[in-house]
């Protein structure tokens, strides 16, 4: 029996169709970024109150990486918290701190942790591997400045969705290879794991389910400068030969997502390498559902699942 698209997803598809909203691949980068902000402004859940929010500038390579640090509601000002370093989605080309603000606030409150949301450099102005460099640098900085942030350097997780999930996965591998920072968990929400994928879900769900195959190719071309970049494991972590010794993972997928099969394959590779993996597919959902909480009840369910997994990892 085939899968059934969730009625709420069907409503969103109908709204998009009636609005004749342009696909990302038909827009220039500035317009694509504007449309992304509009999408999140219309369909994100309400942003809950948190204990505090602080804008930050993380030094890196003679410049700074903008970031936003959240402490959860009810957290004493001087308490030491576990930390989630979070990377937003958007094909390494669109997306920003404001679009992911409601989700980061929710995760901070539900997991009772600090959340450092990282505004890594975007393509095409800063192509691969700039985003990777920023993601790792921000994570390492957070560990090194844990006392300043009021977090526990021994309880740091990384996470993200889509392109951000890719960066989280890659950061865990870099941290393992370089011996620091010590990470306890990776939250991977429909992560991009194989840029050259030809798995069936790309064709099966690559048209008519919010994320179009042409849009994926558009983002790839903005981010990846050369053909060889598609096969670099820092762009396609599924191609990394050794995945042993990585922290436990929660992999969240959507049943009508072009990236579905790649996420499944990465989960299987992690398990085969001895990594503890919790896998959950929201069968009726489309790519991007987690940040569209005004439309999808499943977004709240997924954020609670993520918070439970983070809490468990932080308590080990």
Residue with tokens 């970049």: 229
* One-character DSSP codes across 116-164: EEE----TTTS-TTHHHHHHHHHHHHHHHTHHHHTEEEEEEEEEEETHH
**313 preceded by cis ω (within 30°)?**
no
Residue with tokens 């942790």: 113
Active site residues: 162, 257, 287
CB-side exposure of 226: number of CA atoms within 13 Å? Answer: 5
Q: Are 12 and 295 in contact (CB under 8 A)?
A: yes
Cα–Cα distance measured from residue 129 to residue 29, given in angstroms and rounded to the nearest whole number: 19
C-alpha distances in angstroms, 58 versus 118, 134, 241, 283? 9, 9, 32, 38
Helix (H) or strand (E) holding 299: helix 297-314
């Amino acid at each position: 029996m085939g899968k059934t698209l969730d009625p709420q997803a069907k409503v969103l598809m109908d709204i998009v169709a009636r609005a004749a909203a342009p696909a990302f691949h038909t827009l220039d980068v500035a317009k694509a970024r504007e449309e992304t902000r509009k999408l999140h402004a219309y369909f994100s859940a309400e942003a809950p109150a948190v204990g505090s929010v602080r804008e930050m500038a993380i030094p890196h390579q003679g410049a700074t990486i903008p970031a936003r640090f959240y402490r959860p509601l009810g957290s004493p000002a001087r308490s030491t918290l576990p930390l989630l370093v979070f990377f937003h989605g958007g094909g390494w080309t669109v997306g920003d701190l404001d679009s992911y603000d409601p989700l980061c606030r929710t995760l901070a409150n539900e997991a009772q942790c600090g959340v450092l949301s990282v505004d890594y450099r975007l393509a095409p102005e800063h192509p691969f591997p700039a985003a990777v460099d920023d993601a790792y640098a921000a994570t390492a900085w957070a560990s090194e400045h844990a006392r300043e942030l009021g977090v526990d350097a021994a309880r740091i997780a990384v996470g993200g969705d889509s392109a951000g999930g890719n960066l989280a996965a890659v950061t865990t591998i870099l941290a393992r290879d370089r011996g620091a920072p010590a990470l306890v968990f990776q939250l991977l929400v429909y992560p991009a794991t194989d840029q050259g994928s030809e798995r069936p879900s790309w064709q099966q769900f690559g048209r008519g389910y919010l994320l179009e195959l042409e849009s994926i190719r558009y983002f790839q071309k903005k981010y990846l400068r050369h053909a060889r970049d598609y096969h670099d494991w820092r762009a396609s972590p599924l191609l990394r030969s050794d995945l042993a010794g990585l922290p436990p993972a929660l992999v969240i997928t959507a049943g009508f997502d072009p990236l579905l099969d790649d996420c499944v394959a990465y989960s299987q590779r992690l398990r085969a390498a001895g990594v503890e993996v919790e896998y959950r597919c929201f069968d009726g959902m489309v790519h991007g559902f987690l940040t569209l909480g005004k439309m999808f009840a499943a977004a709240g369910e997924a954020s609670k699942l993520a918070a439970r997994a983070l809490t468990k990892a932080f308590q080990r």
